[in-house]
Structure 1
Amino acid sequence: MWREFVTSISNEHYFKEPATKYEIDQIQKDLNVELPEELAGLLNETNGVFDNWNCPLIWSASQIVKDNLFFRNFDDYKDIYMPFDNLFFFSEAGNGDLFCYAILKNGNIEKNDIYVWNHEDDSRTWVAASLKQFIEGWLTDKIGV
Structure 2
Amino acid sequence: MLPRLLLLSLLLSTAQAGPALPSERGDQSICDFYAAKNYGENNATTQLKLMQGIVAYAYAGGRSLPNGDEDSSGIFNVGRFDGKDVNLRPWFDGSKATSNNNDQAVKIQWMDGGGTTPLIAFINGSTPMANIQRGTNQ
* TM-score higher than 0.5: no
TM-score, normalised to structure 2's length?
0.26
> Which structure has the greater CA radius of gyration?
2
Higher strand proportion (structure 1 or 2): 1
TM-score under structure 1 length normalisation: 0.26
